[in-house]
Amino acid sequence: MRDRSFRQTEKGKGHGPKKSLGQNFLIDPNITRCMVDYAQISERDVVLEIGPGRGMLTREILNSPCSFLHIIEIDKTLAPFLEPLLKRHETRTSLIWADVLTVNLKELSPSPTKVLANIPYNITTPLIWQILEHLAPMGTKELVLMLQLDLAERLCAKPGTKDRSPLGITIERMGQVQIAKKVPPSVFWPAPKVESAIVQILLDKNYDLASKRPWRRLLKVAFARRRKTLMNNLACVYDFFKDREQAYGLLKELGLSPTVRAEELNADDWQRLYEHILTL
């Protein structure tokens, strides 16, 4: 009934969800309230919302005491929903019509302290990398994101599991991540074919790690061929090691087996490996 009522209320306003943009609009106000509650927004916070859609989460953020809200939305046909809402709060809002992946987030002023978003599933991984790279060094300390459940589980994956990933390892080195709440398809319009989850990421250290090219390259190479050992993957890249023997020697020095795979290393192992490679 919630989905039908929503569609009847919005009928004739000139915009339906666009599959090409991965649009699945939140239609349950209880979920948007949950996201804002998890963020614990104070009057000191500057919030960035990405992909507001028809503004359901936007309204909840504006009901919070945040000092300023930046909004980035690619779809200008949503203007009839967003512009009247923001006009009532024009002294503390800014709306950018753009593809967020092309926006220089470092130029947002004032700089966001928190990010809230119902992220289109097709840009989730590059967008989180962008936020970590551009905004964490500028003072962003918390992300509350609606993600596809399987990606949320990959971000939280522990060492030794098949879902371990470069992005999850980087977040682990920068702070903590948790699945705050699993969300059924019925809270969206149209309902996706997969479950979703509210994910909370807290950043409290190594704020510039995601912007370091050697760190990103190390993880990319290490996970390039998951069925290969870490040593085989690293030894194939000659700007890391001149030969297989050098790679073997470093792993041995770090107390790591020559047959270890990238997914088996914990966050401290990655940090020690990274620090040693920088000295080569």
Please state the residue numbers annotated as binding site for S-adenosyl-L-methionine.
24, 26, 51, 73, 99, 118
Q: Give the single-character DSSP code of 121.
A: G
Task: Report d(CA 254, CA 172) in Å as an integer.
Answer: 20
List of residues 6+ apart from 113 with CB closer than 8 A: 44, 45, 46, 47, 139, 140, 141, 142
What burial class does residue 142 get, using C-beta atoms within 10 Å of its C-beta: 0-12 exposed, 13-18 middle, 19+ buried? buried
Residue 250 corresponds to which tokens in the numbers above? Answer: 């470093």
Residues 223 and 232: their CA atoms lie apart, in Å, by: 11
From the annotation, which residues make up the binding site? 24, 26, 51, 73, 99, 118
Cα separation, 175 vs 272, in Å, equals 17
